[in-house]
Chains A and B, each alone.
Chain A
Amino acid sequence: MNRRGPVSLGHEDPGLQPERTLLAWRRTLMTLLVVCTIFLRWIPHFGLIALLPVIVSLVAGILIQIGLNARYRKSAKGLKQERIPAPLREVVVLGGTVIVLSVVGIYSVVSG
């Protein structure tokens, strides 16, 4: 664990934690995309409000995807230095998106 090569994306964590975390984010983003496409089926019933969740999830997905690359680099480097910043921004954006989607859904069902 104490070899220090040139700065790269490599790390020496035998548990492959940065990869597992990155893949967990990818899975989650893909699920988010799937959910937002199902919302498209609502357009005939509820009208254009069903587009709102789609736009929100696309924007959030793109923002998180951009953040993830930087985050992977930080994780790989942070593991060597034994510290990784907490992903507060990503958690807030993703959690907020899912909450907004649920609220829009609830609102449409109740009012529609």
Chain B
Amino acid sequence: MTSPDPGNVPSPDRDRLSASLLGGGCEPDPRFTLANERTFLAWIRTALAFLAGGIAVEAFTGDVFSPGLRRAVALSLLVLAMLVSASACVRWLKVERAMRLRKPLPLPVLVPILSLGGALVATGLIVFLVYGAR
């Protein structure tokens, strides 16, 4: 590990799982690997925020919403959290593979899911606030 020879040494710590999941190609610029990692972490934090929102709605809003609406809001937030975290993992892997093969990066499927989901939940709540709470 001490020999600074970036040429043909096999990658450090490539176990069989990494080898099969990451595919071929050559090691990308380490800065890109770290940037991809941070992007993944940012998405995971987004998912965690949705998760916290869902849990909190279910636990704390018993006096505000009717039981059905409370469950609907909590469920949609939790489902969003699951979708966002799952696709964060998939996207991290896709980007890592694309960088290894020097290919263009894949489009983020996550963004439309997230904006649509957020818009749906918000619209549902607005409708509730305008018509429901009488």
Q: Give the B-binding residues of A (Cβ under 8 A).
A: 4, 7, 13, 15, 17-18, 20-21, 24-25, 27-28, 31-32, 34-35, 38-39, 41-42, 45, 74-75, 77-89, 91-92, 94-96, 98-99, 101-103, 105-106, 109-110
Picked from A78, A83, A91, A110, the residue with its CB within 8 Å of the CB of B92 is: A91
CB <8 Å contact, B41 and A27? yes
Could you list 15 examples of A-B contacts with CB < 8 Å?
A: A17-B35, A35-B48, A38-B56, A41-B55, A41-B60, A77-B1, A82-B27, A86-B96, A88-B18, A91-B92, A96-B89, A105-B54, A105-B74, A109-B58, A110-B75
How would residues 47 to 59 of chain B score, 1 for a CB under 8 Å from any chain A CB and 0 otherwise?
A: 1110110111011
B47 contact set on A, CB distance < 8 A: 98, 102
CB <8 Å contact, A82 and B29? yes
- A-B pairs under 8 A by CB, number: 146
A80 contact set on B, CB distance < 8 A: 4
Main secondary structure of the interface of A (DSSP, over half): helix
| In the assembled complex, B13 has its CB within 8 A of some CB on chain A | yes
Residues of B within 8 A of A (CB-CB), count: 52
| In the assembled complex, B121 has its CB within 8 A of some CB on chain A | no
Chain-A contact segment, one of B76-84, B101-109, B112-120: B76-84
In the assembly, what is the distance between CA of A86 and CA of B59, in Å?
Answer: 38
In the assembly, what is the distance between CA of A44 and CA of B124, in Å?
Answer: 28
A45 contact set on B, CB distance < 8 A: 58-59
A83 contact set on B, CB distance < 8 A: 6, 11-12, 27, 30
Interface residues of B in 7-23 (CB under 8 A from A): 11-14, 17-18, 21-22
